[in-house]
Amino acid sequence: MREKFFIQGLTKQTTCNIMLFGANSAYIYYIWLVLANGKERSIMAKIAVVYWSSTGNTEAMANAVADGAKEKGAEVELITASDFSADSVANYDGIAFGCPAMGAEVLEEDEFQPMWDAVKGSLGGKKVVLFGSYGWGDGEWMRNWEDDAKSAGVELAAEGLIANEAPDDDAVANCKALGAAIA
């Protein structure tokens, strides 16, 4: 049996197909959203965690962000900055970007900054969060990054998250909460 329903409150015209399959006396429910373009997608959010890390501190944060999104039921992909582009943005419901403070509290300039500059204009309508580690300073790079995102029209789903050096237990918990915020 296949039933079609219109789900109100979604931003796009959407129908929901619910297929009921009998398995002995149990029913297994599969819910799929069929977007206006006709592409079927699972109701589960698809999240990209895009990061650059030199020491492994921001990578550890990225893994915790991914864990938090997975715990909320999202499908998650960890992607290095060099492997992400503006063409990739459309494949995800939410994107977490992670980059440590470099030099005079700036984003990493060879891979991450060029990728960020190329994708930020494509992030409208996406859930986006920012995170990163630092070893000195007071988080100025994150404040500047948030300002840059907002001036490009990016709506951040949460305040940028920073961790001094390697993330401790509190920072890992905060990273998981950040991942859950975009799932």
Render pLDDT for 85-127 as a digit per residue (tens, 0 to 9).
Answer: 999 999 999 999 999 999 989 999 999 999 999 999 999 999 9
Question: Taking a C-beta distance cutoff of 8 angstroms, is the pair 75, 47 a contact?
Answer: yes
Number of independent structural domains in the chain: 2
Q: Which residue would you say has higher pLDDT here, 42 or 105?
A: 105
Q: Which residue would you say has higher pLDDT here, 40 or 43?
A: 43
- 80 and 105: one domain? yes
Q: Which domain range does residue 29 map to?
A: 2-41
Is 0.85 surpassed by the pTM of this model?
Answer: no
- 7 and 97: one domain? no
- 128 and 57: one domain? yes
- Would you give the distance in Å from CA 1 to the centre of its chain? 35
- 35 and 63: one domain? no
- Sheet harboring 15-23: ordered strands across? 2-6, 15-23, 26-34, 40-42
- 8 and 93: one domain? no
DSSP state of 93: S
